[in-house]
Amino acid sequence: MCGIVGYIGFRNATDVLIDGLRRLEYRGYDSAGVAVRTPEGLKVVKRSGKLSALERALKEEHLEGPLGVGHTRWATHGAPTD
């Protein structure tokens, strides 16, 4: 099952998106990602596997911005990939 969460506001969108994706974890998925509008432009980080893999990748990227969208995905065609 797939899920989508979005945010626009004054907080860091990445934090809000990860919290929203955690709430969708029970639905079942095999990959997750976020896209955040930063001062440098749109940045996308996605990972196959559990949400914890995406969270580890985000610690390296450190996305900061007030607008973004996150998703969880269940691959219906082909193997899960980043």
User: What is the 8-class DSSP label of residue 77?
Assistant: S
In tens, the pLDDT along 61-73 reads: 889 999 999 998 8
> In which element (H, E) is residue 62 found?
none
In this prediction, residue 28 carries a pLDDT of: 67
In tens, the pLDDT along 4-57 reads: 999 999 999 999 999 999 988 766 678 899 999 999 999 999 999 888 999 999
